[in-house]
Amino acid sequence: MRNENFIGNQWRASRSGATDNIVNPATGGIIGTAPASDAADVDDAVQAAAAAFPAWAAQTPRQRSEALHELARRIGDDIETLSAIESENVGKPVSIMEFEMDLTLDNWNFFASAGRFLEGRAAGEYMEGYTSMLRREPLGVVGSIAPWNYPLNMATWKVAPALAAGNTVVLKPSELTPYTALRLAELAADVLPPGVFNVVCGQGETAGVALVDHPEVAMVSLTGSVAAGQAVARASANTLKRVHLELGGKAPVVVFDDADPALVAAGVRVAGYYNSGQDCTAACRVIAGPKVYDALVAALHQEVTEIPFGDPTLPDTEVGPVVSAEQLARVAAMVQRATEAGAEVLTSAVAPDGGGYYFAPSIVVGPAQNSEIVQREVFGPVVTVQRAPDEETLLAWANGVDYGLAASVWTSDVGRAMRMAAGLRFGTVWVNDHIPIMSEMPHGGFKQSGYGKDMSIYAVEHYTELKHVMIKH
Ligand code: NAD
């Protein structure tokens, strides 16, 4: 497994020689190291990316598309290795890897083609004696910063549209989960010209900050927490670089009395506990009407009881560990505080023995709307359930958080579904389902969940600058 930075298509240790330990969350054991890079390493990578930019930007969309499709083909051929690395580094159950890798591969194929479909208004004589036309141009060097929950998939969402649009990229993966980004670099090494794609590992406060501060970085694209997004937005103000932020979520699951509680519970079992609930769109906040509430709590409790929980290497395991000891402590403390504040915690699973970071899939019943567990992201296998008296309260509570990434509404009344779809202040609203995503449709937040869209043609557009060219006749 590669454990060095990838700069200008060369493998390099950090200049200081410092490294971070990388841990398997299922055991707590160290599986390797990665460079603990600092500003000097980031500068090397940015210089390599800046040098590569003119030639990459000058390629035709078809040429870039062919290179990215070739990279996609190599990713496809490498899925087993990528899955194994990701599963070990994040503690993901092997049973959930297929979906994630299939989406990642499709994202690469989509973006490889999408760079050929940039749009603008028709050229024409909008002023007498002049012809106006629009160009969409790449920005330059893009700094991509990825989180640990879906390391390769989130890196893909940042890197692929930026490259497709003609930018060059310096990717900083999460300090906890760098290995699939380095594997991606290995696959790209003889497909992309030197410097087009670079990976620099390290901590947010050193390597991440250096990337955001670098004057030759034209744009920073971050997927991460609200706190990191705020820090990046603040720091980017100094150089006025463009910022693209995909931040946290607290997705409501709005359930009306005419919904089928068994269907909702089955949906929440998947969407609330997938990836140990470490998902920015996780169905983590159920708000139910008064008549369906009791049946829904019972059905959800039943589903959660049946979740195979534990060793992620076993083929049937549905929920494994959370990513780190710190994350485990955070989740446990939030649930403890919810209990102290009067909510009831339902769980039947028992965490496996050993050194892994396991938190049993749980339901927190009856927390207050203004309580911490309802207002803040838990990012663990924990779903809250609240009872609301009427449609107005359901909508008000659903919208009553700082986040605005994703929401779902469950009802058999089409008119009500449409009212809720319009009223919910979230970047995605599902009706009678929660979590399906595909490459063609945008993913992104309202409010403190950030700005800018991942996936879809809109993501590619974010990595371009619109230029008006006006020709006097
Ligand atoms: P995090 O904010 O701790 O770190 C994300 C990345 O940012 C890491 O690579 C980190 O090193 C870097 N970073 C942190 N502070 C930085 C700074 N000041 N300057 C530059 N870089 C910095 O997030 P995490 O714990 O890795 O990931 C979980 C978070 O990501 C959750 O809040 C989750 O909701 C969010 N997330 C959002 C989406 C989305 O699409 N909106 C998707 C996945 C995860």
Taking only the tens place, the pLDDT of each residue in 366-415 is 999 999 999 999 999 999 999 999 999 999 999 999 999 999 999 999 99
Average of per-residue pLDDT values in the chain = 97
Q: Which tokens belong to 178?
A: 């760098």
Residue 100 has a pLDDT of 96
Residue 84 has pLDDT above 80, yes or no: yes
Mean pLDDT value across residues 29-57: 98
Helix, strand, coil percentages in the chain from 3-state DSSP, rounded to 5: 40, 20, 35
pLDDT single digits (tens) 286-316? 999 999 999 999 999 999 999 999 999 999 9
DSSP state of 206: I
- Determine what percent of the chain is predicted with pLDDT higher than 70: 100
DSSP string, 364-389: EES--TTSHHHHS---SSEEEEEE-S
Q: Which residues pair with 470 in a beta bridge?
A: 132
Residue 211 has a pLDDT of 98
Find how far residue 51's CA is from the centre of its chain: 29
140-168 in b/e burial notation, b at 16+ Cβ within 10 A? bbbbbbbbbbbbbbbbbbbbbbbbbbbbb
Task: Compute the distance between CA of residue 34 and CA of residue 18 in angstroms, rounded to an integer.
Answer: 9
| Half-sphere exposure (Cβ direction) of 105: Cα atoms closer than 13 Å | 17
Q: Which of 305, 373, 311, 317 is nearest to 344 (CA)?
A: 373
CA-CA distances (angstroms) from residue 191 to 6, 102, 195, 225, 455?
Answer: 14, 21, 12, 32, 23
With contact defined as beta carbons under 8 Å apart, do 307 and 347 qualify? no
Residue 353 has a pLDDT of 84
Q: Which tokens belong to 132?
A: 């106006």
pLDDT single digits (tens) 321-373? 999 999 999 999 999 999 999 999 999 788 888 889 999 999 999 999 999 99
Task: Compute the distance between CA of residue 409 and CA of residue 133 in angstroms, rounded to an integer.
Answer: 43
Residue 282 has pLDDT above 80, yes or no: yes
CA-CA distances (angstroms) from residue 6 to 22, 385, 408?
Answer: 17, 45, 40
Banded pLDDT at 438 (limits 50, 70, 90): very high
Mean pLDDT value across residues 188-214: 98
- The residues annotated with a catalytic role in the active site are 246, 280
Residue 348 has a pLDDT of 77
Mean pLDDT value across residues 117-123: 93
Residue 45 has pLDDT above 90, yes or no: yes
Please tell me the distance between residue 250's alpha carbon and the centre of ligand 1 in angstroms. 15
CA-CA distances (angstroms) from residue 61 to 8, 66, 218?
Answer: 22, 9, 21
pLDDT single digits (tens) 7-24? 999 999 999 999 999 999
Task: Compute the distance between CA of residue 61 and CA of residue 166 in angstroms, rounded to an integer.
Answer: 8
Residue 1 has a pLDDT of 80
Residue 36 has a pLDDT of 98
Please tell me the distance between residue 225's alpha carbon and the centre of ligand 1 in angstroms. 4
Task: Compute the distance between CA of residue 40 and CA of residue 168 in angstroms, rounded to an integer.
Answer: 19
Q: Which residues pair with 346 in a beta bridge?
A: 363
- Which of 222, 250, 326, 403 to mutate to test ligand 1, by most ligand atoms within 8 A of the CB atom? 222
Count of beta carbons in the 10 Å neighbourhood of residue 453 = 22
CA-CA distances (angstroms) from residue 93 to 182, 272, 314?
Answer: 21, 15, 7
Please tell me the distance between residue 39's alpha carbon and the centre of ligand 1 in angstroms. 19
The residues lining ligand 1, judged by C-beta closer than 6 Å to any ligand atom, are 145-149, 154, 172, 174-175, 203-204, 208-209, 212, 222-225, 228, 231-232, 246-249, 280, 377, 379, 405, 445, 449, 454
Residue 27 has pLDDT above 80, yes or no: yes
